[in-house]
């Protein structure tokens, strides 16, 4: 079973709220020797790696996500039973099992719900619970270190030490702990970080709701959208009254899904269609927010024009539409992977600014407003060059020189390429 490295790394981050690192520290504290501590930690980390692998490959199914979340607690319990007496009332055990069950449950609930009020409730419970668990482990680790020092100083005996480690005495020193300024500062830091994570999750849910709404919109009347297979050099628009051919300075975006043909064979027909529709909806959301118009969709290729209605700052608007698309795509990757879509797919985007001509064109009796010129073809060429240069975004010098200094500072020059009808190589840029 092949799992993309990026997806595996995302699961490690996603799983980090279960605080395995705290257990590694606790194992070292309680193991009695460095060698035993290293061995025990390696075993726990191996269980965590197995859990992460299974979550990355099958964690998009709610029941399996909950069950796989219990692998590390099971491994820890087996380790404790094999190396020492296993007391289920010990705080370490309760915290590990409790956090795994809580997080696994709310992750499973969140996966099983569509966007809506209850989805947000589940995400909020997951976020607040993760912060509470983090603080609980931090408090317990401090308490355990303090009890260990008291035992070494012979302020308490071994039996008292073991009794105080049980869950019934967990809150005994909580008031004193919170009263400490450095601990209060840590609590505020945890709360701030958790709020940021929750805001990011809610943003992802809101974005998903907008994309789903766009996908559910009724089909447009015939003739209002371009037919599949439109050439990137000549694309159709909604018919509008226009006195004659008009020249426009526009910025074009050309976008493709890298390796979509092979990807579609893996996904199958229905999943490929669902995947394309989400891709189109994401571009519709990003483009419309910046005043762009999607003028062609053919397979996995999308062409978007900025400046047909308003030429002001169209390079700027096109660039930030591309930025917003990639940012939104990163936000939705987790949601896409939860529906068994690949998490490591890549999108290529080319951006170019130039002149086009718009006019009423078409077969007799079927005239509609269309745009033609080399600008779209150059954008498509930059889109194709993304694969050769191993970039997600390429911006032409024609677009770059029309950007504000602030926008130019977000780009890096990566070399020179030979573009359509150019007699010498011209610079191209990508996002820093």
Chain center to CA of 55: 16
Tens of pLDDT, residue by residue over 253-294, are 999 998 888 888 878 888 888 888 888 888 988 888 888 888
The reported pLDDT for the residue numbered 21 is 67
The answer to whether residues 135 and 270 belong to one domain is: no
Tens of pLDDT, residue by residue over 165-189, are 888 888 888 888 888 877 777 777 7
- Domain final residue, candidates 183, 213, 243: 213
Are 105 and 70 in contact by the 8 Å Cβ rule? The answer is no
pTM to 2 decimal places:
0.58
Helices (H) and strands (E) in the chain, counts: 16, 9
The answer to whether residues 132 and 271 belong to one domain is: no
- Taking the C-alpha atoms of residue 108 and residue 129, their distance in angstroms, rounded to an integer, is 14
The answer to whether residues 34 and 106 belong to one domain is: yes
Domain of 330, CATH number, reads: 3.30.70.1230
The answer to whether residues 139 and 33 belong to one domain is: yes
The answer to whether residues 58 and 117 belong to one domain is: yes
The answer to whether residues 312 and 192 belong to one domain is: no
The answer to whether residues 60 and 122 belong to one domain is: yes
The answer to whether residues 67 and 117 belong to one domain is: yes
Assigned domain for 224 exists:
no
The answer to whether residues 206 and 265 belong to one domain is: no
The answer to whether residues 205 and 265 belong to one domain is: no
Assigned domain for 238 exists:
yes
- Taking the C-alpha atoms of residue 276 and residue 188, their distance in angstroms, rounded to an integer, is 43
The number of beta carbons lying within 10 Å of the beta carbon of residue 137 is 22
The reported pLDDT for the residue numbered 394 is 95
Task: Look up tokens 């996908």; give the residue.
Answer: 215
The reported pLDDT for the residue numbered 400 is 94
Mean pLDDT in each 10-residue stretch from start to end of the chain (432 residues)?
62 59 68 73 82 80 87 83 74 85 86 75 81 83 85 88 86 83 75 72 63 53 40 47 75 91 82 84 87 84 86 88 88 66 81 88 74 89 91 94 92 87 83 90
CA-to-CA dists, residue 153 to 160, 371, 401, angstroms: 13, 84, 71
Assigned domain for 281 exists:
yes
Assigned domain for 54 exists:
yes
366-370 LR contacts (CB < 8 Å, sep 24+): 366/223, 367/239, 368/223, 368/236, 368/237, 368/238, 368/239, 369/236, 369/237, 369/238, 369/239, 369/240, 369/242, 370/234, 370/235, 370/236, 370/237
Are 111 and 60 in contact by the 8 Å Cβ rule? The answer is yes
The structure tokens listed for 416 are 């020179």
- Looking at the DSSP bridge assignments, the partners of residue 92 are none
The answer to whether residues 72 and 182 belong to one domain is: yes
Q: Which domain holds residue 279?
A: 234-431
Are 1 and 57 in contact by the 8 Å Cβ rule? The answer is yes
Assigned domain for 228 exists:
no
In 3D space, the residue among 408, 422, 417, 356 whose CA is nearest the CA of residue 382 turns out to be 417
Assigned domain for 225 exists:
no
The answer to whether residues 144 and 202 belong to one domain is: yes
Assigned domain for 221 exists:
no
Assigned domain for 349 exists:
yes
In percent, how much of the chain has pLDDT > 90? 16
Task: Look up tokens 């910046």; give the residue.
Answer: 290
The number of beta carbons lying within 10 Å of the beta carbon of residue 401 is 11
DSSP 298: E
Q: How many separate domains does the chain show?
A: 2
């Amino acid at each position: 079973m092949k799992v993309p490295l990026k997806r595996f790394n995302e699961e490690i981050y996603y799983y980090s709220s279960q605080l395995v690192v705290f257990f590694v520290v606790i194992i070292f504290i309680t193991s009695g020797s460095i060698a035993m501590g290293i061995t025990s930690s390696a075993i726990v980390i191996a269980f965590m790696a197995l859990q992460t692998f299974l979550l990355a490959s099958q964690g998009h199914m709610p029941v399996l996500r909950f069950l796989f979340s219990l692998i590390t607690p099971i491994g820890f319990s087996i380790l404790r039973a094999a190396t020492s007496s296993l007391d289920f009332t010990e705080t370490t055990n309760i915290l590990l099992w409790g956090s795994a069950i809580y997080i696994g449950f709310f992750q499973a609930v969140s996966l099983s719900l569509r966007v809506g009020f209850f989805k947000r409730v589940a995400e909020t419970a997951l976020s607040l619970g993760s912060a509470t668990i983090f603080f609980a482990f931090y408090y317990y680790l401090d308490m355990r270190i303090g009890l260990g020092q008291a035992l070494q100083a012979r302020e308490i005996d071994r039996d008292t030490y073991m009794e105080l480690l049980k869950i019934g005495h967990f809150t005994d020193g909580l008031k004193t702990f919170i009263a400490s300024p450095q601990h209060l500062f840590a609590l505020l830091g945890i709360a701030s970080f958790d709020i940021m994570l929750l805001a990011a999750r809610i943003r992802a849910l809101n974005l998903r709701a907008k994309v789903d709404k766009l996908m559910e919109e009724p089909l447009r009347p015939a003739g209002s959208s371009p037919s599949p297979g439109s050439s990137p050099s000549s694309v159709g628009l909604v018919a509008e009254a226009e006195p004659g051919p008009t020249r426009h300075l526009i910025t074009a975006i050309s976008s493709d899904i890298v390796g979509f043909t092979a990807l579609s064979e893996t996904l199958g027909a229905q999943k490929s269609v669902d995947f394309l529709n989400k891709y189109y909806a994401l571009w519709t959301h990003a483009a419309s927010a910046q005043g762009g118009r999607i003028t062609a969709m053919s397979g996995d290729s999308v062409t978007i024009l900025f400046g047909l209605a308003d030429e002001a700052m169209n390079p700027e608007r096109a660039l930030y539409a591309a930025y917003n698309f990639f940012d939104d795509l990163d936000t939705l990757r987790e949601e896409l992977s939860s529906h068994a879509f690949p998490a490591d797919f890549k999108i290529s985007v080319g951006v170019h600014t130039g002149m086009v001509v718009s006019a009423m064109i078409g077969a007799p009796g079927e005239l509609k407003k269309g745009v033609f010129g080399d600008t779209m073809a150059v954008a498509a060429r930059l889109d194709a060059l993304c694969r050769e240069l191993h970039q997600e975004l390429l911006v032409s010098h024609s677009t770059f020189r029309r950007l504000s200094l602030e926008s130019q500072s977000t780009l890096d020059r990566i070399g020179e390429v030979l573009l359509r009808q150019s007699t010498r190589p011209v610079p191209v840029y990508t996002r820093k």
